[in-house]
Amino acid sequence: MAGDCITVTLENHMSADPDDLPGYNALPMIVNHFNANQVKPSRNVGLHAQLVEYNLFNSDGMNVGFNPLQTAAPGGSVTYHWYAGKID
C-alpha cells in the first residue's frame, strides 16, 4: 500500500551445485570459439524490485561495483528494505 515500508528476507534453498546443461544454441556466436558452455550459471539469487524506492547501496538485489553483496548464496539469506511511496 502507498506509504508502507516493506522488509523482505530472501532465502536461497538452491543446491550448491545445480546441473549445468549443455547449451550450444542458447547464446548466439558473437565471438568465435565462445559459446554458452563456457558460461557457468550463478548459484546466488537476488530480488530487484520495481515501482518502489530503495537504497541502491544495500537493497537493489544486484552485485554491482564496490557495493556490498546483495544476493544470497546457497543456504544463505539477504534482507531488502523498500518504500512504497505516497500518492499525492
Q: Is the pLDDT of residue 19 over 90?
A: no
Q: What is the pLDDT of residues 29-86, one digit of tens each?
A: 667 776 666 677 788 999 999 989 999 899 999 998 898 999 999 999 999 999 998 7
Which is nearest to 66 in space by CA: 58, 74, 55? Answer: 58
- Banded pLDDT at 23 (limits 50, 70, 90): low
Q: Is the pLDDT of residue 24 over 90?
A: no
Residue 27 burial (CB count, 10 A): 14
- Banded pLDDT at 5 (limits 50, 70, 90): very high
d(CA 86, CA 75): 36
Q: Is the pLDDT of residue 88 over 80?
A: no
d(CA 75, CA 79): 14
DSSP H/E element including 8: strand 5-11
